[in-house]
Amino acid sequence: MTASAPDDTGIKTVLVTGASGAGRSTAIRALEDLGFEAIDNMPLSLVTRLFDSPEAMPPLALGIDVRTRDFSVDALREMLTVLAAEPEREIEVLFLDCRPDVLTRRYSETRRRHPLAPAETPVIGIAREMELLEPVREGADHLIDTSDMTPHDLKAEIERRFGAESSGNMALSVESFSYKRGLPRGVDMIFDVRFLANPHWQAELRALDGRDGAVADYVAADARFAEFFDRLQGLVLSLLPAFKAEGKTYLSVGLGCTGGQHRSVAVAERLAKMLADQGWQVSIRHRELERRGHGASHKVGTAG
């Protein structure tokens, strides 16, 4: 659903949508803090009229979900097609995703009714909505899974993805994860590091994670590591300028291992530092460590 490459004089618009309860209001407020004019739940038939004014407009954050009047996937696609046809408009779709079990828990905690199942259980409404929105999810420019995020985490993620645009820089995110818990959603490039020597089998390293120097040294001592990392950084560095030239403002790289504690964390930390040293704006997230309460996402460096 991406429009043509950004134009310096274009009207920047982020359409925020996704599962009910996944954090759309938080995302819109975060964009508003970044200077976007926020408009929530405007009828789809009226959205195109926003751009008829001859006056200069600030970047827009439009909240759209199944509660929006005259909402349908076909109507949303038609609206995006119309907007993207004008070269002065730059449209991006941000889709907020969340696991069904987490959404069910959130509805239970707030005792809210699901908009697609007001007289039934939230589980039924969640299933209906996910099926309805799947085509939108597949075509989104930005996909953020908020299952393991607090509102603060989501706000920080929005800032990382959209906060660098005023400077013209492309923001990067490096994420470690465990294959046992599945691939992270919305990651652009994924690399498997399970072939490296596993510190888990070293008693003195088992309780540590890849941010610890002893673990990082153990992983780097694998005879296969040096060539692998040299090729990895060469590939990533060669692709970044091309992605930026295509108008991409955010790129994410995932590193996975068995448990998401040692090898993927060590390689992610090293890759993020290398990218920051090269002048890229980089943030890093360790998905499994966050779940265990051992660390949060953070910035590694800012572009020069």
Report the b/e string of 241-261 with b at 16+ CB within 10 A. Answer: eebeeebbbbbbbbbbbebbb
Please determine, for residue 247, whether its predicted confidence score (pLDDT) is greater than 80. no
| Three-point CA angle 73, 165, 253, nearest 5° | 75
**One domain for residues 133 and 213:** no
| Domain assignment of residue 20, yes or no | yes
C-alpha torsion angle, residues 67, 70, 71, 72 (rounded to 10): 140
Q: Closest by alpha carbon to 63, among 106, 112, 13, 103?
A: 13
**One domain for residues 15 and 150:** yes
**One domain for residues 25 and 149:** yes
Q: Which CATH number characterizes residue 102's domain?
A: 3.40.50.300
Tally Cβ neighbours within 10 Å of residue 210: 27
Query: Residues with Cβ < 8 Å from 57, sequence gap 6 or more?
Result: 11, 37, 50, 51
| Domain assignment of residue 6, yes or no | no
Cα 97 to Cα 38: distance, rounded to the nearest angstrom: 20
Tally Cβ neighbours within 10 Å of residue 11: 18
Over residues 99-120, the mean pLDDT reads: 89
Residue-wise pLDDT tens digits, 67-92: 888 888 888 888 888 877 776 677 88
Residue-range definition of the domain harbouring residue 275: 171-301
Tally Cβ neighbours within 10 Å of residue 278: 15
User: Which range (47-61, 158-172, 213-227) has the least confidence?
Assistant: 158-172
Report the b/e string of 144-157 with b at 16+ CB within 10 A. Answer: bbbebbeeebbbbb
| Domain assignment of residue 88, yes or no | yes
**One domain for residues 115 and 179:** no
What confidence score (pLDDT) does residue 298 get? 56
**One domain for residues 295 and 175:** yes
Enter the DSSP assignment of 52.
G
User: Which range (123-137, 183-197, 209-223, 284-298) has the least confidence?
Assistant: 284-298
Span between the terminal Cα atoms of the chain, in Å: 31
Please determine, for residue 259, whether its predicted confidence score (pLDDT) is greater than 80. yes
Amino acid of residue 270: R
> Structurally, how many domains does the chain consist of?
2
The pTM assigned to this predicted structure is 0.62
Over residues 12-31, the mean pLDDT reads: 91
Could you tell me the two tokens for 54?
């001859």
Residue 246, classed as helix, strand or coil, is coil
C-alpha torsion angle, residues 269, 200, 226, 243 (rounded to 10): -40
Query: Residues with Cβ < 8 Å from 280, sequence gap 6 or more?
Result: 169, 170, 172, 240, 301, 303
**One domain for residues 96 and 200:** no
**One domain for residues 158 and 17:** yes
Q: Closest by alpha carbon to 292, among 265, 273, 271?
A: 265
Confidence category of residue 153, pLDDT binned at 50, 70, 90 = confident
